[in-house]
Amino acid sequence: MLSTPAEIKRRLEQNWLEFLKANSAKLSMDSLDGASPPSVFVGRYGYPKVRVGPMIPPLHGDTAVYDKSEMWVGKTLEEIANYRLSLVRGVASLSVGQTEGRYIEQLQELAMSEKPAESEATFEKRPLADTDLARELRLNSEAAPFGPAAPIKTFKTSSLSADQKIETAFYDSDLKAADAVMELYEKGVEVSRIHRVLSVGMLGMKKNRKLVPTRWSITATDDMISSRLVKQNETNVEITLFEVRQFSHLGNYYSVILIPDSLWSFEMIESWYAGDGKMAVGADFEDARVLDHYPSIAGAYFAARLAVAEHLSRRGRKAAALVLREIHPEYVMPVGVWQIREGVREALKKQPANFDALDNALAFACSTMSQSRAEIARRSQLCRSLKSQTRITDF
């Protein structure tokens, strides 16, 4: 039986209270020790002066799952929220151009670590000094959950195990950031780790290195990798049938349509239930001339585009793509664009339903969606573009 949004919120709040009860003694002190997953956070408010620091749970041992989104497929919303809420942020205000100095060097060493690192922080004030605020989990429909935070006084870490692939990119100060990101990706470094080192100013030409807010570094990483893959895929062989694959998790439903076409084009259409019970829709589209604006659906667009581009790259094929995402009310709080990237990746691991016509593929893709084939076709710039194209096979 499916849980209602109210039941999910109630469980989230109960889990938060249980966490506070179990760890209140540690979180009420002005120092904390634990195994960082490893995790580093760079805020965006106040840019170009931002809050930067490590994220440490009051736990020891293997905490990798607390900040590795590639491990979160199949987890519940409550489990993922618990990972995020359990990480205590120590923060210091720095200029984004400040990529040197002992504090930043310690964070960079932490970001390079392959494994959780034993860490210790002291704070200017206790993370849970405000007991009334601490007891209340404030679910925000616009932002992923965060655990307690406090201004940091000192930080040290040990048991570091540096990833040599990341270390090599870090010390290559003549390598452009986009090239460094792509090299790490091609060497098998997970996207969640690439955006972390980009965020703390570890990639790119020395003179251009800056701290990048975590939220921005995630989107930049998805964009740089997918743009490069799309370009590489141009010489691949075109698929021959319309392929539809589907996946759902965390109240998000995905249908991915791969379309036979010699030229790249990509569109993502998102729909969600608005306050009046009707469906609201957002969409963005690019053709072979690539995207000429920042997408209205923001980082979700690049996360989905990366999943599609890497799937085609792995197969040695090229195609156009339409990604449909429908968000249901049980997705009571956002947990980050990782779930879009991983959701589309999971969809593309499935065996496809194959069709010889776009209308049939679209009808199947919409069979699990609230919006009909006709509604999607009417909204889709990609569908209109395909219908207006004259192909050599038409003669």
Angle formed at CA 187 by CA 64 and CA 350, multiple of 5 degrees: 75
Residue-by-residue DSSP string for 158-183: ES--B-HHHHHHHH-TTS-HHHHHHH
Q: What is the pLDDT of residue 131?
A: 44
Q: What is the pLDDT of residue 392?
A: 38
CA distances from 194 to 95, 187, 200, 225 (A): 22, 11, 10, 10
The residues of the chain scoring below 70 in pLDDT are 1-2, 129-143, 389-395
Q: What is the pLDDT of residue 13?
A: 82
pTM beyond 0.75: the answer is yes
Q: What are phi and psi of 10, to 5 degrees?
A: -65, -40
Q: What is the pLDDT of residue 333?
A: 87
Q: What is the pLDDT of residue 21?
A: 79
How confident is the model over 124-159, as pLDDT tens digits? 998 875 444 445 555 565 567 778 889 999 999 987
Angle formed at CA 223 by CA 234 and CA 142, multiple of 5 degrees: 140
Q: What is the pLDDT of residue 140?
A: 61
Tokens (6 digits) for 15: 């889990």
Tokens (6 digits) for 234: 């141009």
* Neighbour-count burial for 15-49, b at 16+ CB within 10 Å, e otherwise: bbeebbeebeebbeeeebbbbbbbbbbbbeeeeee
Q: Among candidates 219, 160, 157, 162, which has minimal Cα distance to 189?
A: 162
Domains in the chain: boundaries: 14-157, 234-394
How confident is the model over 362-393, as pLDDT tens digits? 999 999 999 899 999 999 999 998 887 654 34
Q: What is the pLDDT of residue 387?
A: 81
